[in-house]
Amino acid sequence: MYNPRFEKKAFKKEVEHNVKTLYRKTIDEATPQQLFQAVSYAVKEVIIDDWIATQDQFKKDDPKTVYYMSMEFLMGRALGNNLINMTAYREVKEALDEMGIDLNAIEDQEPDPALGNGGLGRLAACFLDSLATLGYAAYGCGIRYRYGMFKQKIENGYQVETPDDWLKEGNPFELRREEYAKEVRFGGNIRVEYDDATNRTKFVQENYESVLAIPYDMPVVGYGNHHVNTLRIWDAQAITNFQLDSFDRGDYHKAVEQENLAKTIVEVLYPNDNHYAGKELRLKQQYFFVSASIQAAISKYKKSHDDLHKLPEKVVFQMNDTHPTVAVAELMRILLDEEGLGWNEAWDITTHCCAYTNHTIMAEALEKWPIDLFSKLLPRVYQIIQEIDRRFLIQVREMYPGNEEKVRKMAILYNGQVRMAHLAIVAGFSVNGVARLHTEILKHQELKDFYEMMPEKFNNKTNGITQRRFLMHGNPLLADWVTEKLGTKNWITDLSLMSGLKKYADDPKALAEFMDIKYRNKERLAAYILKHNGIEVDPRSIFDVQVKRLHEYKRQLLNILHVMYLYNQIKEHPEMSFYPRTFIFGAKASAGYIRAKEIIKLINSVGDVVNNDRSINGKLKVVFIEDYRVSNAEIIFAAADVSEQISTASKEASGTGNMKFMLNGAPTLGTMDGANVEIVEEVGAENAFIFGLSSEEVINYENYGGYHPQDIYHNDQDIHKVVDQLVDGTYSNGDTEMYRDLYNSLLTNQGGSRADMYFILKDFRSYAEAQKKVEEAYKDTEGWAKKALLNTACCGKFTSDRTIQEYVDDIWHLDKIKVEVET
Ligand code: 26Q
């Protein structure tokens, strides 16, 4: 696809021009960062035309629009991705080459915007990519955090967090849109008035504090279709700039307070992943971006429509987990208090506009806000929730007369708390899980009562990922190979075509090519590791990779205990045949998650011992990659041989890393959890390594009080030894206390939590056996190549394009847009 707007000569001129006007420099004088800025502005120039054309098309077609409401958008770097989606990557690379500039080095100058924690935030980013590529009208609505996810440094084996000052050099792709600012109000009290003129009760918020929400728009470029959607993230600004006269009027205190509120509200992303902490500031963040986004959506709708009753025909709000669930009450508030509708009309509109996605079944991740905190911060929103709850409980009692147990279990307000998931389910017209198994567990366990009362709301949408970033951009060698073998580039927008690779599964030449690409990607990762960790790893060894947030349920501890076990085996049986392995980890721990941080330290300590033991001849290496994030993830997936997806069954809602590994030809070593189940279904059990308890077994044990890890500890000598090594100083220079907590967590019940809650020792043997099978399989070079290739060939289902089309068909019912531009 030739794009004349990136015609080399003109593009070079544009870059030169930008360097000159931005920095008063020539290309040769400019720093790499300045070149990055200049190139980005040149690319933005082209994007803007498509962006305008898309918005014009929206005005003409008046399509239904989805507002994807999310506290997190983990976008990753924009430059390379935008070039890919504008089908101009190659041309621009060549143009820059001719100027003596290396595009890859320029791309590395871009900060990796980390406005998200992990899976949920990255999913939102993949969804935006697919929405634009499929030609649907969509807005991502979120927060422009001043500091995103912290940067992770490893010092002396410990995680150290430093702030992520991602805006330091300016963000070339964003547009500040001051003219669309909205006021958001917090606190105060509600005065109830009777308005004789309209015969209505009015609710007036008084003595509140407010901030101004200023939108920044970022373009979201569709692949090869000139469609550019918008990610709208909100910054906060004080409404009255600090003025002397307010001091005179005695409002000094308030003026300062509002300045502070504005500054703190968008200051930083909470780094908790799958864990709820009831912090007031977090609730402020939620209401801040939700209120601004809903106000903006309503104003936009009203510009070209006069009947709010028809809002659901044009607008749908998708709530990414419960984090933006105040949206339902805020929409009600606007319809009731500002638009003057009655309760029933407002409720009818709201419940046809809002839909909810659940991303977790873990109790500790469920949002429950203390009522006093909630009602003080959002007094009017709280009143509305009370009324929603009152009316809902009337329905529950009608349906289950005399069953007060049901009422307690299902209430939105209970025990001094606002249960956000219940609010989202009651007010949403759709409730979806993110993988088939996850949705089944929601329906039959966690949300059973709601499913029984309103089964029609529940549906599954198995997650997906974008092949544009995770194959085209991250693994260009494989991408080109796929295009050559399939004889078409169409897989870029139709991943089901990958099944056409199956016919090469027994073709020795194709298999050799496939593994050669893997090898070259392993060399690229080895170079990255040497540069960043100073560790030499052998690209011929098996690259066994676990990269994801650090969480006990994801069981990085199981992985590293198994490494300790292998090390013992090698030491005890030096003659034993052992295929060299490199265990690669990458994980951030939430700053306050002490046990997670201990596990990071343990991984690094094991690495120190193992990597420096010359007696094992480099058979085993352990590498902890610092600051795992989207940009280095792309390099890591491309180089992986084995994909570790070893969560305790039933705990991982879906997982999306598993899909990125599969796409890049790495078989899964995993439990039957989340989307692993569907991956195995697609690729065949013979091309994966499955182990461990099933979700039913786990849930069963949990319902009967757990199991007895001590039995395993006492009966299995290898496990016994490994567990003891946590406290015998082997990995802590003789310090017996450093890993005592991990040791205890495996063996003894501890106030409230059971010994080995995540069934690590229970699954250990079966994990070790699966690992043994991996080694055996890898020794068979061609057999392994076939498995790897089939993983790539069978990944078609796991594109976010498929996921988004299902959301559109079943939930959103959006209209497709065709953007026409003259080129
Ligand atoms: C909640 C309250 C206060 C502070 C933080 C939070 C919070 C923040 C992030 C709670 C949860 C999250 C993130 C959850 C998450 O990433 N879940 C993952 O979502 C993926 C996409 O659906 C799934 O693939 C993963 O299985 C799931 O763990």
Beta-carbon contacts of 43 under 8 Å, excluding residues fewer than 6 positions away, are: 79, 82, 83, 86, 88, 92
Question: Best of 120, 369, 463, 547 to mutate for ligand 1, by most ligand atoms within 8 A of CB?
Answer: 120
Please list the alpha-helical segments (H only) found in 400-475: 404-410, 420-427, 436-441, 448-453, 467
Which residue has 């500031």 as its token pair? 281
Rounded average pLDDT over 373-390? 98
Question: Best of 123, 145, 273, 287 to mutate for ligand 1, by most ligand atoms within 8 A of CB?
Answer: 273
CA distances from 326 to 115, 285, 550 (A): 20, 11, 29
Tokens representing 504?
């090469």
**DSSP tag of 199:** T
Of 146, 616, 536, 192, whose CA–CA distance to 379 is shortest? 192
Query: Which residues have C-beta atoms less than 6 Å from ligand 1?
Result: 117-120, 123, 270, 272-274, 276-277, 282, 359-360, 365, 367, 434, 463, 652-656, 674
pLDDT, position 776: 98
Rounded average pLDDT over 726-749? 98
Are 171 and 77 contacting, i.e. CB atoms less than 8 angstroms apart? no
Neighbours of 497 (CB within 10 A): 16
pLDDT, position 57: 98
Rounded average pLDDT over 699-721? 97
Distance from chain centroid for Cα 96: 33
Are 327 and 420 contacting, i.e. CB atoms less than 8 angstroms apart? no
Confidence of residue 249 (pLDDT cuts 50, 70, 90): low
Tokens representing 456?
């029609």
Are 655 and 120 contacting, i.e. CB atoms less than 8 angstroms apart? no
Q: How far is the CA of 365 from the centre of ligand 1 (A)?
A: 8
pLDDT tens column, 22-70 = 999 999 999 999 999 999 999 999 999 999 999 999 999 999 999 999 9
Within-domain flag for 419: no
pLDDT, position 250: 64
The per-residue DSSP string of 254-276 comes to: HHHHHHHHHHHHTSB----SS--
The residues assigned a catalytic role are 359, 548-549, 554, 656, 660
Neighbours of 417 (CB within 10 A): 17
Within-domain flag for 710: yes
CA-nearest residue, atom 4 of ligand 1: 276
Are 160 and 154 contacting, i.e. CB atoms less than 8 angstroms apart? yes
Rounded average pLDDT over 614-634? 97
pLDDT tens column, 471-502 = 999 999 999 999 999 999 999 999 999 999 99
Q: Is 76 helix (H, G, I), strand (E, B) or coil?
A: coil
Within-domain flag for 36: no
Within-domain flag for 300: no
CA-nearest residue, atom 3 of ligand 1: 276
Confidence of residue 822 (pLDDT cuts 50, 70, 90): confident
CATH of the domain at 611: 3.40.50.2000
Using the atom order of ligand 1, give the atom closest to the CA of residue 121.
Answer: 16
CA-nearest residue, atom 14 of ligand 1: 274
Within-domain flag for 433: no
Using the atom order of ligand 1, give the atom closest to the CA of residue 357.
Answer: 22
pLDDT, position 5: 84
Q: How far is the CA of 675 from the centre of ligand 1 (A)?
A: 15
pLDDT, position 579: 98
pLDDT, position 195: 87
Q: ∠ at Cα 638 (635, 643), nearest 5°?
A: 110
pLDDT, position 407: 98
Q: How far is the CA of 274 from the centre of ligand 1 (A)?
A: 4
Confidence of residue 3 (pLDDT cuts 50, 70, 90): confident
Using the atom order of ligand 1, give the atom closest to the CA of residue 655.
Answer: 24
CA-nearest residue, atom 15 of ligand 1: 120
Using the atom order of ligand 1, give the atom closest to the CA of residue 652.
Answer: 26
What's the burial of 449, exposed, middle or buried (CB within 10 Å: 0-12/13-18/19+)? middle
Q: How far is the CA of 463 from the centre of ligand 1 (A)?
A: 13
Q: How far is the CA of 34 from the centre of ligand 1 (A)?
A: 36
Confidence of residue 425 (pLDDT cuts 50, 70, 90): very high
pLDDT, position 298: 98
The per-residue DSSP string of 94-141 comes to: HHHHHTT--HHHHHTTS----BS-SHHHHHHHHHHHHHHHTTB-EEEE
pLDDT tens column, 698-709 = 999 999 999 999
Q: Which amino acid is at 446?
A: E
What's the burial of 352, exposed, middle or buried (CB within 10 Å: 0-12/13-18/19+)? middle
Whole-complex ipTM: 0.98
Rounded average pLDDT over 759-784? 98
pLDDT tens column, 267-315 = 999 999 888 888 999 999 999 999 999 999 999 999 999 999 999 999 9
Within-domain flag for 361: no
pLDDT above 90 as % of the chain:
94
For the cut 70, the answer to whether the pLDDT of residue 242 exceeds it is no
Of 236, 270, 70, whose CA–CA distance to 150 is shortest? 270
For the cut 70, the answer to whether the pLDDT of residue 329 exceeds it is yes
Of 526, 528, 561, 564, whose CA–CA distance to 542 is shortest? 526
Q: Return d(Cα 541, Cα 611) in angstroms, integer.
A: 14
Residue 773 belongs to domain spanning: 541-794
pLDDT, position 164: 97
Question: Best of 72, 117, 287 to mutate for ligand 1, by most ligand atoms within 8 A of CB?
Answer: 117
Q: ∠ at Cα 667 (662, 670), nearest 5°?
A: 100
Within-domain flag for 309: no
CA-nearest residue, atom 24 of ligand 1: 655
Are 675 and 588 contacting, i.e. CB atoms less than 8 angstroms apart? no
Rounded average pLDDT over 257-263? 91
For the cut 80, the answer to whether the pLDDT of residue 155 exceeds it is yes
Tokens representing 172?
């070339």
Are 644 and 660 contacting, i.e. CB atoms less than 8 angstroms apart? no
Beta-carbon contacts of 66 under 8 Å, excluding residues fewer than 6 positions away, are: 131, 136, 137, 138, 139, 316, 317, 318, 807, 812, 814
pLDDT tens column, 93-106 = 999 999 999 999 99
Tokens representing 291?
């209120």
What mean pLDDT is reported for the chain? 96
Using the atom order of ligand 1, give the atom closest to the CA of residue 277.
Answer: 3
For the cut 90, the answer to whether the pLDDT of residue 689 exceeds it is yes
Question: Best of 326, 359, 555, 660 to mutate for ligand 1, by most ligand atoms within 8 A of CB?
Answer: 359
Buried b (16+ CB within 10 A) or exposed e, 207-236: eebbbbbbbbbbbbbbbbbbbbbbbbbbbb
CA distances from 75 to 72, 214, 629, 637, 786 (A): 9, 20, 10, 17, 33
Rounded average pLDDT over 193-207? 91
Q: Return d(Cα 330, Cα 291) in angstroms, integer.
A: 6
Q: Return d(Cα 212, Cα 808) in angstroms, integer.
A: 33
Please list the alpha-helical segments (H only) found in 62-102: 79-85, 89-98
Within-domain flag for 167: no
Q: Return d(Cα 572, Cα 575) in angstroms, integer.
A: 9
Count: domains in the chain: 1
Of 464, 354, 486, whose CA–CA distance to 420 is shortest? 354
Of 443, 441, 436, 477, whose CA–CA distance to 458 is shortest? 443
Query: Rounded to the nearest 5°, which phi and psi values hold at 740?
Result: -60, -40
Q: How far is the CA of 120 from the centre of ligand 1 (A)?
A: 5
More confident residue, 599 or 198: 599
Q: How far is the CA of 272 from the centre of ligand 1 (A)?
A: 8
pLDDT, position 277: 87
Q: How far is the CA of 360 from the centre of ligand 1 (A)?
A: 7
Q: Which amino acid is at 318?
A: Q
pLDDT, position 306: 97
